Structure 1
Amino acid sequence: MISIAPDRSLFADESALQAVRYLVGVDGGGTGTRLRLSDLDGRLLGQGEAGPSALGQGVDQAWRHIEQALQQAAEQAGLAGPQGLRHAECALAAGLSGANLPAACSEFLASQPGYAAVIVVNDGYTTVLGAHGGQPGAVVASGTGAVGEVLRRDGSTDCISGWGWITGDEGSGAWLGLKAIRHAQQALDGRAVPGPLAFAVWDLTGRSRESVLAWCAAAGQHGFAQLAPLVFMAADKGDAVAQRFVDEAVTELEALARALDPQSELPLALAGSIAKRLESKFSGNIRARCVEPQGDSADGALHLVRSALNAKMGSR
């Protein structure tokens, strides 16, 4: 069932692949990077975390943070130092936000620091593999961004949403943050009545036109996503505008779930802080299909690289 587009992977020749001793699974988003290191049999050896590795924030940054997370994992595994973990002994799969852009994937593969194998796919794909153990199912993932991924019973896959925080990712943290800043701007202009949400945003950005503009210019996807908790806190305080934004997020994520599985027959896993926070607000049919994920995107990346390596080399 596991398939990889030809332009999403880079493998050394067979003799070099024989030297692979370790598997690396990466989950990289707009907020942070999580990495797991295992042996060829899937036994976990170490884990690491670092800053964001979404491709939309730059390939150099992505590799820098992946390498930082790998160093942590290697230290946990007792493989640190010059004679410890070598790139040539590792096969890596990375589920990265923004990997739906072919040019970014090509640059990522061309910049890789010497791994025996590298696979790069969208983090939604590794999330669905991890959530359902490689079996058919759907995932609605909403954290900094939002994306839905499905692995159908016939082996086909589909990706819904995930268009990026500027024009899409409805129901995500950055999407909520954009709504929050627009409301704060309108309240500052006198076009809306300020309430708990506007005041909370102003506490962060300042209350002058100049300070708000400066904050927006520097914020980026991660900065806007940091406003999402303010929306939830304001809704809890009875702010009607914030509550409307929360309700709209529920509507968007439910629409995503239905688009992934129109027949409503596959198990549905939720990933990301926003999706998990909103689960209790979903309608009965969607909530009834929700299952606890078996693993996360980093687990899915390990599943992917192990399957791909076995396919290249035969069962090992």
Structure 2
Amino acid sequence: MTHDFFLIGVDGGGTGTRVVLGDAQGRELVQAASGPSGLGLGVARAWQSIQAACGEAFERVGVTLDWSRCVLGCGLAGVNNRDWLAEFYALAPKLAGLAVETDAYTTLLGAHGGAPGVVVALGTGSVAASLASDGGFRMASGYGFPSGDEASGAWLGLRLIVHAQQALDGRVPHDDLVEALLAHTGAQDRDSLVVWLCAADQTAYARLAPIALEHRAHPFAARLLGVAGVEVGKMIAALDDTGTLPVALCGGLGAPLREYVPQIYQARLREPLADSARGGLQLARREAERLAGR
């Protein structure tokens, strides 16, 4: 690899894409963001979002984007689906290099700097991962919306909207929490909510999650957030038999949900050293070194 190449770390989820542009040595130059690039929302859409974010990053440093000079390290939601992953590689532009891992792995790289530890990434979806002292990598959760991704934004949003449905029917009280949920969806009644539901995807549900935090004193929201914390604790326990590894809560919901994690884990919680996009930059650097050694 020469000084003419650029390393790019990509963090792609169901809500948005963040990239970190670095030079050939991995020194960070600039950051940029764009729309979702989780593979479950469509592989072509993922590449559109990645290209938009990369284009913005290059524009900020005053350089024309040339894929042939770029090595990408991508941490993406949905790469466990082999068909989606194969399509992602097939649709890739002509890059100097491309390394793709689950966003859980790049989150782990960023959070603990490659050292042993546990991460619980809480965003649109959720996934937990651990790196043991022997280098072993394990994952928990992250099975995808709607059946998994406990404690994620989409998981919270789905339960919130069920509560709003019950309120419209008179099964639970119609109060300020319900009004906030309906206002977000633009629904006034049963039929208009059904219209919203028919178009809603995981991103739409995840955008409801902040309403639970804004109404955290509401009995339903308080219970829901408490359950989310318990689910985070179950992920940590599943990934660390020793009960000793440091734990970083990452993603947009990591900090807001910290207080709901059971007390037994609180002393092990650490602030992440860096984010998944910077973990992707580490991945890109490894790929560049691998290519240089061939």
TM-score w.r.t. the length of structure 2 is 0.95
Contact 1:19/1:89 (8 A) holds in 2: no
Aligned to 2:165: 185
Give 5+ residue unaligned stretches, structure 1.
1-16
Aligned to 2:214: 233
Aligned to 1:128: 108
Contact 2:153/2:208 (8 A) holds in 1: yes
2:62 is matched with which residue: 78, 88, 92?
Answer: 78
1:198 is matched with which residue: 175, 178, 186?
Answer: 178
Q: Tell me whether 279-288 or 59-68 shows the greater mean CA deviation.
A: 279-288
Aligned to 2:259: 280
Contact 2:73/2:284 (8 A) holds in 1: yes
Aligned to 1:45: 29
Q: CA deviation at 1:290?
A: 1.3
Q: CA deviation at 1:63?
A: 0.5
Aligned to 1:118: 98
Map 1:160-175; keep pairs closer than 5 Å.
160-175=140-155
1:268 counterpart = 2:247: yes
Deviations 1:110-165 (A, max 9, x none): 00011121122111110000111111111011111110011111111011100112
Q: CA deviation at 1:20?
A: 6.5
Structure 2 distance, partners of 1:312, 1:88, is: 14
* Partner SS state of residue 253, structure 2: helix
Structure 1 distance, partners of 2:209, 2:281, is: 30
Give 5+ residue unaligned stretches, structure 2.
none
The residue type equivalent to 2:139 in the other structure is C
Aligned to 1:158: 138
Contact 2:2/2:24 (8 A) holds in 1: no
Deviations 1:72-114 (A, max 9, x none): 111222213xxxx321111111101111111101000000011
Q: CA deviation at 1:18?
A: 6.4
Map 1:16-27; keep pairs closer than 5 Å.
21-27=5-11
Contact 2:22/2:28 (8 A) holds in 1: yes
The residue type equivalent to 1:311 in the other structure is R
* Partner SS state of residue 34, structure 1: strand
Structure 2 distance, partners of 1:67, 1:127, is: 21
The residue type equivalent to 1:178 in the other structure is L
Percentage of identical aligned residues: 43
* Partner SS state of residue 263, structure 1: coil
Structure 2 distance, partners of 1:65, 1:281, is: 33
1:307 is matched with which residue: 278, 282, 286?
Answer: 286
2:19 is matched with which residue: 12, 30, 35?
Answer: 35
Structure 1 distance, partners of 2:42, 2:78, is: 10
Structure 1 distance, partners of 2:29, 2:159, is: 42
1:143 is matched with which residue: 108, 123, 135?
Answer: 123
Structure 2 distance, partners of 1:283, 1:240, is: 19
CA RMSD in angstroms, aligned pairs only: 1.6
* Partner SS state of residue 235, structure 1: coil
Structure 2 distance, partners of 1:241, 1:290, is: 26
Q: CA deviation at 1:247?
A: 0.7
* Partner SS state of residue 164, structure 2: helix
* Partner SS state of residue 57, structure 2: helix
Deviations 1:4-37 (A, max 9, x none): xxxxxxxxxxxxx669611111001111110011
